[in-house]
Structure 1
Amino acid sequence: MKKLIFAVMALVTITTTQAQGLDLGIKAGVNFATLTDASGLDNRTGFVAGAFVGGKLGDKFGIQADLLYSQQGAEFELGSFDLDYVNVPIVAKIYLTDNLNLQAGPQFGVLVNDDTQTVIGEVINDIGTNDFDISGVVGVGVDIPLGLRLEGRYNFGLTDVPEENGADFNKSKNSVFTLSVGYSFL
């Protein structure tokens, strides 16, 4: 997995060196996460932080890759799904104006922390989770003066979060709304 992330980041870096308007910076924000197809779950609010590299490939098209630490999961009455990932979203950016863009692409995630305990009576169940997550990403971004970047994204999971066939969480996938602010050094 580390080799895949390195290869993707290298490809994006090579591509963006040929691009006009190279973008390299840091970003941070807030996640509003839950799991789909499971009843009785509430959002887990967490943070997201990391770095990005990207660039424009003409006036109307760009590409961006991020390396992000992301707190995801869900909360419910009997416990919680605290899932922390290192995510690598790679998005194509279509510029509607010089500053406003639409974003879409895949995201690859590696689970780095899972606290998935449920309490049933006095018994604690630890629910197994998949170590890898693939999601789709759609969003909108605004480049504002002084190198600031504002983004709103929705990540919809394509892989099941539980490793095993749990009764209530069998086909649950990540569902995350993210609001972030970034700063471009270039």
Structure 2
Amino acid sequence: MKKTVLVILCIIAFSGVKAQQVKFGVKAGLNVATIHGDNLNTDSRLGLHAGGLVELKLSDSFSIQPEVLYSQMGTENDANELKIDYISLPVMAKYYIIDGFSLEVGPQISFLVDDVLKTNDGGSLDPDLENYDLSANLGLGYQFKQGLFVQTRYNLGLTAIQENPDIKNGSFQISVGYQF
């Protein structure tokens, strides 16, 4: 039900947008993910993200870029590895400072696909995480004339993915993509 309402709201929000130019694209990259919260002692976990996007140019210097990504998050320490997989829906506002170079900011909602806590003794547990995660993104990008682009982004979790203790996601992302 929540997913249906979100999709309907996105359709309504973008139905009135009059884009000067619409470009579709694909992207993939590396996540350096971790969780943060009270008294945590964890290291980063490397994961991947991949998906599609649409860039709606509203002017020469401003565009909106909704994306759909499969994203691997989590964390690890000496005893455990927490693997969290999401379908993420960021909506980035992009401001082009100079030709090709953009600052990006926007919200992201992610829906849990899978979560597992693997222990060093070979066991696994269900960490029973929240089914969604709301976060804020801030990043930079560069668009080459041929359609290739590079992006870097920090994703700061705003909602707790588990309570007692409250823990939140965080990740640094590096992406490469191509717009058609």
> Which residue identity does 2:78 align to in structure 1?
E
TM-aligned CA distance change 1:123 to 1:60, over 3 Å: closer
Distance 1:15 1:24 in 2: 19
Structure 2 stretches lacking a partner, 5+ long = none
Matches within 5 A, 1:20-39: 20-37=20-37, 38-39=39-40
Residue identity over aligned pairs, in percent, reads 37
User: Structure 1 length as normaliser, TM-score?
Assistant: 0.87
> Which residue identity does 1:74 align to in structure 2?
T
Partner of 1:99: 100
Partner of 1:60: 61
Distance 1:77 1:176 in 2: 20
TM-aligned CA distance change 1:9 to 1:23, over 3 Å: farther
Offset of residue 77 of structure 1: 1.6
Partner of 1:109: 110
Contact 1:95 1:101 in 2 (8 A): yes
> Which residue identity does 2:132 align to in structure 1?
F
Query: What's the RMSD between the two structures over aligned residues?
Result: 2.1
Contact 1:117 1:127 in 2 (8 A): no
TM-aligned CA distance change 1:48 to 1:123, over 3 Å: closer
What SS class does the counterpart of residue 116 from structure 1 fall into? strand
Distance 1:127 1:34 in 2: 15
Contact 1:12 1:53 in 2 (8 A): no
TM-aligned CA distance change 1:109 to 1:157, over 3 Å: same
Offset of residue 35 of structure 1: 0.3
Structure 1 stretches lacking a partner, 5+ long = none
Contact 2:116 2:125 in 1 (8 A): no
Distance 1:13 1:116 in 2: 38
Of 147, 170, 174, which residue of structure 2 is paired with 1:175?
170
TM-aligned CA distance change 1:49 to 1:157, over 3 Å: same
Offset of residue 12 of structure 1: 6.4
